[in-house]
Amino acid sequence: MPGASSDEAFVKVEREAAALRLTLARPSRRNALSELMLQELELHLSAIAEDRSIRVVVLAAEGPVFCSGHDLGEMRGRTEEEYRHLFARCTRVMLGLRKLPQPVIARVQGLATAAGCQLAAACDLVVAADTAGFATPGVKIGLFCTTPMVPLIRVVPPRVAMEMLLTGRVVSAAEAHKIGLVNRVVAADQLDQAVEEYVLAISRASATALEIGKRAFYDLAEVSEVEAYQKAVELMTQNALACDAQEGIGAFLEKRTPHWQHTRPHFPAE
């Protein structure tokens, strides 16, 4: 993985079996998303997408804060072109999480604010410590959290999202679970165990099925019900034809453990 061996890397990479962990490692700056950190994340996500042996990704962070958003020290007095470049790179990272073939689990141990809240919301699953919190407080410094809003309004009710965006208040982990931003809330000392339960469950699945399913989950939510069913029929057909599906069906009928081949799925033309 790019940068994995660098002593100056802001993102640490650890691999265990079919799972890969990316850890934001800039605790002295509250894991702020500097341009260098965003660049590292973008490179890692690109490499992960091509590695069929990885079936699940965990996004974690060091220190008491998960991610405080953009590095404000880099955001003062920039040119229009520089601002656009920064937000475009951040957007590529967020969309990279969504477009990654592998499911991504956010392990949120502390506060996630602004683009840090966006980072968690852009992941497929979120496990949070009961001491964690989520906020989009940009309005307090005259910078409305417009880009963090994009994944936020896709995972929480509109009125709740608007309240978070207009007030900038911190939503507790318990409330984040209630509104659908978080899947599970556990005590801090149980966070790794809760994440590992998801990792193990997902790692047992076919990479082909995971890729088809993740892509379908987001794509079909953006179209009408009729169009969604039309696309779903084609996706299910291609999935059924895949080697892993035939192997999985055979293994179930023969009462044995399936042996996945992880061939890249074919997606119907748009």
Residue 267 is predicted with a pLDDT of 65
**Structure confidence by residue, pLDDT tens digits, 53-69:** 999 999 999 999 999 99
What is the sign, positive or negative, of the torsion defined by CA atoms of 73, 75, 76, 78?
Answer: positive
Burial track 105-126 (b if 16+ CB lie within 10 A, e otherwise): bbbbbbbbbbbbbbbbbbbbbb
What would the mean pLDDT of 146-156 be, rounded to a whole number? 97
| Residue 120 scores a pLDDT above 90 | yes
Cα dihedral 80/11/95/194 (nearest 10) = -140
What would the mean pLDDT of 153-170 be, rounded to a whole number? 97
Fold of 11-204: 2-enoyl-CoA Hydratase; Chain A, domain 1 (3.90.226)
Model confidence at 8, in pLDDT bands (50, 70, 90)? low
| Residue 245 scores a pLDDT above 90 | no
| Residue 146 scores a pLDDT above 80 | yes
- Residue 92 near residue 42 (C-beta atoms within 8 A): yes
Q: How far is CA 85 from the centre of its chain?
A: 22
What would the mean pLDDT of 230-251 be, rounded to a whole number? 88
The rounded distance, in Å, linking the Cα atoms of 178 and 193 is 21
11-204 matches 207-254 in fold: no
What would the mean pLDDT of 113-132 be, rounded to a whole number? 98
Residue 241 is predicted with a pLDDT of 87
Model confidence at 6, in pLDDT bands (50, 70, 90)? very low
| Residue 5 scores a pLDDT above 60 | no
Residue 201 is predicted with a pLDDT of 96
Domain boundaries, the chain: 11-204, 207-254
| Residue 269 scores a pLDDT above 80 | no
| Residue 31 scores a pLDDT above 60 | yes
The owner of tokens 């996500």 is 45
What is the sign, positive or negative, of the torsion defined by CA atoms of 26, 27, 33, 38?
Answer: positive
Residue 268 is predicted with a pLDDT of 62
Name the β-bridge partners of 128.
108, 185
- Residue 90 near residue 36 (C-beta atoms within 8 A): no
Burial track 180-210 (b if 16+ CB lie within 10 A, e otherwise): ebbbbbbeeeebbebbbebbeebbebbbbbb
What would the mean pLDDT of 30-57 be, rounded to a whole number? 96
Q: Which of 107, 38, 40 is nearest to 69 (CA)?
A: 38
| Residue 4 scores a pLDDT above 50 | no
Lowest mean pLDDT among 85-89, 187-191, 255-259: 255-259
| Residue 247 scores a pLDDT above 50 | yes
Residue 3 is predicted with a pLDDT of 39
Give me the chain's average pLDDT, please.
Answer: 93
* Residue 24, SS3 per DSSP: strand
- Residue 23 near residue 60 (C-beta atoms within 8 A): yes
Q: Which residue has the higher pLDDT, 268 or 123?
A: 123
Report the CATH architecture of 207-254: Orthogonal Bundle (1.10)
How many residues can be counted in the chain? 270
Name the β-bridge partners of 36.
none
